[in-house]
Amino acid sequence: MLLRHGAFSYLPDLTDEEISAQVRYVLDRNWPVSIEYTDDPHPRNVYWEMWGLPMFDLDEPDGVLSEINECRRTFPNHYVRVLAYDASLGRQTTGLSFLVQRPAEEPGFRLDRTEAQGRVQRYALHPYSTEAVPGSRYTRSDNGSS
Amino acid sequence: MTSGRQSGFSMYRPGAEGTAGKTAPDETSEDEPAEPAEEVNTVLGADEKVDLREDEASAKVQAVLDRLDGELVGLTAVKLRIREIAALLTVDRARARFGLSASKPSLHMSFTGAPGTGKTTVALRMAEILHALGYLRVPKVHAVTREDLVGQFIGHTAPKTKEAIAKAAGGVLFIDEAYYLFRPENERDYGQEAIEILLQEMESERGSLVVIFAGYEDRMETFFSANPGLSSRVAHHIEFEDYRKSELVAIAALMLDRDDYKFTPEAEAAFEEYLERRLALPRFANARSVRNALERTRLRQANRLVAAEGAVSRGDLILISEDDVRGSRVFDEAAEPDAEDRVRLS
């Protein structure tokens, strides 16, 4: 199941040129860009791990793209997203956020129903991938042939 | 387009496996044959001709070169080299239009010369030329020194150097006094790491960056001989000669003209004498010293006008008198040789 996360997630995958075009738009508006990664796809998992520090004062997207590629190399089976913060409102506001990498195989979610008091139903989303320990999720594509 | 698709990240799509031809990206590229077809059309036939002068880019380059001639006095050797480089790149563009092999030329340069010989100015113009010819995306120069590239502790250098490279992306990375990057006397110096990262960036085909190393000639020579990998990747070594006295006078005239000042004839003679004396002193920084000398002369002129009291005319404000020039410490025989540099407000 494809994780629909952030902007452009219902479009075909962005190529590197398209990513750099988006980053250029962000840099033109003077928003700092940061890169984040995670292997927990739960929609309520808002704070992903930061890849380095946010990048300030760039004019061209090349630097961001090289960082993205470095992050992809290090975490080939993680979700990686690009975030742009708009600080013009005086607080950290997400201006743009989109995925630049997803695992090859995404097992999706299970809906958990639990009984609460008075026959009330409570629902929870359970990502199948989180059944593995962090760091070893989404490795099936690597040894899928075996 | 297609190569971009491959280098881009490819997501898993249900049902797309094994039927690569039916995935969305490939379909779009098949639906839009306009782009590759256009490229095919632009390849000219063997019997066609291209007027290099008519090229829009070369007109822009010519404008930059003309400006270079106008604003930089002397430096004939440098100007010739830049003309040659611009001509080579223009020809490369024309070759590409005929479909002839035009491998991406190596554009990294080294500017060697004494301080104040115009290295930074020429780097700015170089960026404009390369931008006009399409080798750079922005006509921008990001000037750095050792402090901006080399870190203080282990693991600090790589992020710093990468940050500098990211900031210069699409333009020129101008490394002033580049020889400081390499310190042979200290084995554990982090400069070597910065050099290696720079090399990596300079080598990469996709790199959109032109690196210019600048510094004194003799020290740059030892720097390059100690880093043969670096030297071989720097295609153009341009030497900036010291200015002669007549050229320095012309530079002073240019600077004064730009700021709406004028020497009286006596002041001009005095300034020539000043230059003669200053040239004999150590730490002469060519055009930069001339500019500093003029700054001080302006200070003395302002001081004189204020002290004189009474109304001043437009001519008074423009003219610099002989006394303003002669007020310099250089004319003071008893002064120490380097007093001029230390006592700016004399």
Chain B interface includes A102 (CB < 8 A): yes
Query: Per-residue confidence at B42, pLDDT binned at 50, 70, 90?
Result: low
Based on C-alpha coordinates, what's the Rg of chain B?
27
Residue of A5, A13, A99 to mutate when probing chain B, most B C-beta within 10 A: A13
Instruction: Give ipTM to 2 decimals.
Output: 0.71
Instruction: List the single range of A44-48, A77-81, B102-106, B110-114 with lowest mean pLDDT.
Output: B102-106
From chain B, pick out residues whose CB is under 8 angstroms from the CB of A103: 12
Token output for A132: 């593995």
* pLDDT computed for residue B3 by the predictor: 40
Cβ of B12 and A14 within 8 Å?
no
Query: Per-residue confidence at B227, pLDDT binned at 50, 70, 90?
Result: confident
Alpha helices in chain B (DSSP H): 2-7, 24-31, 34-42, 56-71, 76-97, 119-132, 146-149, 157-168, 191-203, 217-226, 228-233, 245-258, 265-280, 286-308, 314-318, 322-326, 339-342
Cβ of A102 and B12 within 8 Å?
yes
Cβ of A12 and B25 within 8 Å?
yes
pLDDT tens for residues B262-273?
999 999 999 999
Q: What is the mean pLDDT of chain B?
A: 80
Q: Between the CA atoms of A90, A91, A97 and A100, what dihedral angle is there, to the nearest 10 degrees?
A: 100
Query: Per-residue confidence at A15, pLDDT binned at 50, 70, 90?
Result: very high
Chain B interface includes A19 (CB < 8 A): yes
Chain A interface includes B158 (CB < 8 A): no
Looking at domain B56-240, its CATH class is alpha beta
Topology of domain B245-342 in CATH is: Helicase, Ruva Protein; domain 3 (1.10.8)
Instruction: List the single range of B45-49, B168-172, B190-194, B240-244 with lowest mean pLDDT.
Output: B45-49
Task: Give the integer Cα–Cα distance in Å for B71 and B121.
Answer: 10
Residue B154 has pLDDT above 70, yes or no: yes
What is the domain partition of chain B in residue ranges? Answer: 2-42, 56-240, 245-342
Chain B interface includes A35 (CB < 8 A): no
Residue of B nearest to A102 (CA): B11
Give the one of B7, B11, B170 whose C-beta lies nearest to A62's C-beta: B170
Cβ of A59 and B170 within 8 Å?
yes
Cβ of B169 and A63 within 8 Å?
yes
Residue B191 has pLDDT above 80, yes or no: yes
From chain A, pick out residues whose CB is under 8 angstroms from the CB of B158: none
The C-alpha of B319 sits at a distance from chain A's nearest C-alpha, in angstroms, of 44
Phi, psi of B194 (to 5 degrees): -60, -40
Cβ of A58 and B11 within 8 Å?
no
> Long-range contacts for B286-290 (Cβ within 8 Å, ≥24 apart)?
B286/B114, B286/B115, B286/B116, B286/B117, B286/B242, B286/B243, B286/B248, B287/B116, B287/B117, B287/B118, B287/B243, B287/B248, B287/B251, B288/B115, B288/B116, B289/B116, B290/B116, B290/B248, B290/B251, B290/B252, B290/B255
Residue B73 has pLDDT above 50, yes or no: yes
The C-alpha of A23 sits at a distance from chain B's nearest C-alpha, in angstroms, of 13
Query: Per-residue confidence at B32, pLDDT binned at 50, 70, 90?
Result: very low
CB within 8 Å of chain A, chain B residues 191-220: 208-209
Set out the domains of chain A in order of their start, with CATH numbers. 16-101 (3.30.190.10)
Cβ of B138 and A60 within 8 Å?
yes
pLDDT tens for residues B278-318?
888 888 888 899 999 999 999 999 999 999 888 888 888 99
From chain B, pick out residues whose CB is under 8 angstroms from the CB of A62: 166, 169-170, 208-209
Helix (H, G, I), strand (E, B) or coil at A113: strand
Average pLDDT over residues B220-248: 88
Give the one of B5, B12, B209 whose C-beta lies nearest to A15's C-beta: B5
